[in-house]
């Protein structure tokens, strides 16, 4: 490993937010930071260059408690609060957005709905195996023709006596090609949206992989295809139906993204700060030039504002008071901040910034997916616009 590519990350904390964190929060963050420095940082550039998903990381995520940290301990989760969850996502995405996607889908989009909407038998069957990393899960909502408008989905299931018959397809599904379990959203014969747990091996269920991605290259992405799949009736998530059910899952995932994207921003800022002090031009470090200092000062300002925003949102989540619009604001802000910082940091590194010795181009490419998934950048604007005016612009 070259000197430049060693993980020397130090977290910026300009407003001493660590003083607001509990001892437990600090321990959790440090354990995940150490995990990322050991398991992800030394390998991530090679994984990304080769578009390789390191399946062995799934069990390691389970061992370190990255899957379902807010799920109660009796089901294998961590029983932690949402600030802990945010810190975990921040540290993992500091390593790589694709790695964070793997963890965030497992916890927020697979374990959360099974815990929240499932019955006790479903919780006991699935959650411990998902928490430990023995099983990998995915979340099937987006379809080839229905992304920002999930209510238009055509995937459907029909009652066939002691089971359901599921037909349709989902697209852009993180974890799909390697998943053992899929939480799939489909319409009943009455047109009502329900969640179904579909397991690997059910006849007619396939998960073709998506190739040729320029983004999230170390994450595995694919489709979910259902061709007359027989799903046992006990696999229906009975606790909640309607579009509000998957939207609740997305709220939890978007919260994790808000923290995660700032982790990526921190990584780019830290690399740029170090490089500016070491790169000599015109006989002195480039960090001595006004324009470089301006870039670094603006990066630190935006990271600090986002840290405060995320912390407050974590408090609201813990109190059960966080609204969808508040979550949209944080997700949208964090990804925009991270993208801008990645681009500015790349410029500070000059030509070296496009190489795999430094993380900016990889973060930048990854964030182009993050700015689109879990609600696009513009859709989050319209969610806020509806909150402000009371008028939905997307209907």
User: Across the chain, which distance is largest between two alpha carbons, in Å?
Assistant: 80
- Residue from 46, 16, 80, 83 nearest 322 by CA: 83
Distance separating alpha carbons of residues 104 and 109, to the nearest angstrom: 7
Residues listed for the chain? 395
pLDDT confidence of residue 2: 41
In this prediction the pTM is 0.95
pLDDT confidence of residue 7: 82
Tokens encoding 354? 């496009």
Among 45, 189, 374, 395, the one annotated catalytic: 374
Tokens encoding 181? 């379990």
**Cα Rg of the chain, angstroms:** 21
Q: 368 an active-site residue?
A: no
- pLDDT tens, position by position, for the chain (395 residues)? 344 457 889 899 999 999 999 999 999 999 999 999 999 999 999 999 999 999 999 999 999 999 999 999 999 999 999 999 999 999 999 999 999 999 999 999 999 999 999 999 999 999 999 999 999 999 999 999 988 889 999 999 999 999 999 999 999 999 999 999 999 999 999 999 999 999 999 999 999 999 999 999 999 999 999 999 999 999 999 999 999 999 999 999 999 999 999 999 999 999 999 999 999 999 999 999 999 999 999 999 999 999 999 999 999 999 999 999 999 999 999 999 999 999 999 999 999 999 999 999 999 999 999 999 988 999 999 999 999 999 999 77
> Which secondary structure element, helix H or strand E, spans residue 333, and what is its range?
helix 324-348
pLDDT confidence of residue 8: 86
Angle of helix 290-318 relative to helix 82-95, nearest 10 degrees, comes to: 150
Could you tell me the end-to-end alpha-carbon distance of the chain, in angstroms, rounded to an integer?
52
pLDDT confidence of residue 337: 98
pLDDT confidence of residue 5: 53
Angle of helix 324-348 relative to helix 360-370, nearest 10 degrees, comes to: 150
Which three-class secondary structure state does DSSP give residue 138? strand
């Amino acid at each position: 490993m070259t000197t430049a590519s060693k993980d020397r990350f130090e977290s910026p904390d300009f407003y001493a937010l660590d003083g607001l964190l509990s001892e437990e929060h600090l321990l959790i963050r440090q354990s995940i930071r150490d995990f990322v420095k050991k398991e992800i940082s030394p390998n991530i550039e090679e994984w990304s260059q080769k578009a390789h998903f390191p399946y062995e990381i799934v069990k390691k995520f389970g061992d370190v408690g990255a899957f379902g940290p807010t799920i109660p301990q009796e089901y294998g989760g961590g029983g932690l609060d949402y600030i802990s969850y945010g810190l975990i996502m921040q540290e993992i995405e500091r390593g790589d957005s694709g790695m964070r996607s793997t963890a965030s889908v497992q916890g927020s989009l697979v374990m959360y709905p099974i815990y929240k909407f499932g019955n006790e038998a479903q919780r006991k069957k699935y959650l411990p195996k998902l928490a430990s990393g023995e099983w990998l899960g995915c979340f099937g909502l987006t379809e080839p023709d229905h992304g920002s408008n999930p209510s238009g989905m055509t995937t459907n299931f029909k009652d066939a006596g002691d089971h359901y018959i599921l037909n349709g397809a989902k697209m852009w599904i993180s974890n799909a090609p390697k998943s053992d379990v899929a939480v799939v959203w489909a319409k009943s014969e009455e047109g009502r949206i329900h969640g179904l747990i579909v397991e690997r091996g059910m006849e007619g269920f396939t998960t073709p992989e998506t190739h040729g991605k320029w983004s999230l290259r170390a994450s595995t992405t694919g489709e979910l295809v259902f061709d007359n799949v027989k799903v046992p009736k006990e696999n229906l998530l009975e606790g909640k139906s309607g579009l509000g059910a998957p939207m609740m899952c997305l709220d939890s995932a978007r919260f994790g993204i808000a923290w995660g994207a700032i982790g990526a921003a921190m990584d780019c800022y830290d690399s740029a700060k170090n490089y500016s002090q070491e790169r000599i031009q015109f006989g002195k470090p480039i960090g001595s030039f006004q324009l470089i200092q301006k870039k670094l000062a603006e990066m630190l300002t935006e990271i600090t504002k986002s840290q405060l925003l995320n912390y407050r949102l974590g408090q609201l989540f813990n109190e059960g008071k966080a609204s969808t619009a508040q979550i949209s604001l944080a997700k949208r802000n964090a990804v925009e901040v991270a993208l801008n910082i990645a681009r500015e940091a790349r410029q500070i590194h000059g030509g070296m910034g496009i190489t795999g010795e430094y993380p900016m181009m990889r973060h930048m490419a990854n964030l182009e997916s993050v700015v689109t998934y879990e609600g696009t950048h513009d859709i989050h604007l319209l969610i806020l616009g509806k909150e402000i005016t009371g008028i939905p612009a997307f209907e």
